[in-house]
Amino acid sequence: MYVRIVRPTIPADKVEAAAKHWASFLGGRAKNNPMFAGGYMAASPDRSSVVAVTMWKQLPDPESTQKMREEIMAQMQQFASGGMPPMDEFEVLAEI
């Protein structure tokens, strides 16, 4: 199992709308991918910090990943500020 974490910069007043749009856009596409295991967009209580977390049974290939990141960025540009945020990938070593 793998985890991908992205920390987009989204103004606090746009976080709720961004989360709904992210779930709507990415949800259908990701759920059709047999490697996808789940995902969350979460925010700090004051909405000043946002994180998007996706879980994968196996990581997609780099080309597919880059294409999807570009599509997501194009969809989320209306909410996010700045360029494409970095993405961190982790392999799950333990689960509780």
For 43-53, the pLDDT digits (tens) are 999 999 999 99
Q: Where are the chain's structural domains? A: 10-91
User: What would you measure as the largest C-alpha separation in the chain, in angstroms?
Assistant: 37
pTM of the entire predicted model? 0.89
Q: Are 86 and 6 in contact (CB under 8 A)?
A: yes
For 59-81, the pLDDT digits (tens) are 988 998 899 889 888 888 899 88
Tell me, which fold does domain 10-91 have in CATH?
Alpha-Beta Plaits (3.30.70)
Q: Are 72 and 10 in contact (CB under 8 A)?
A: no
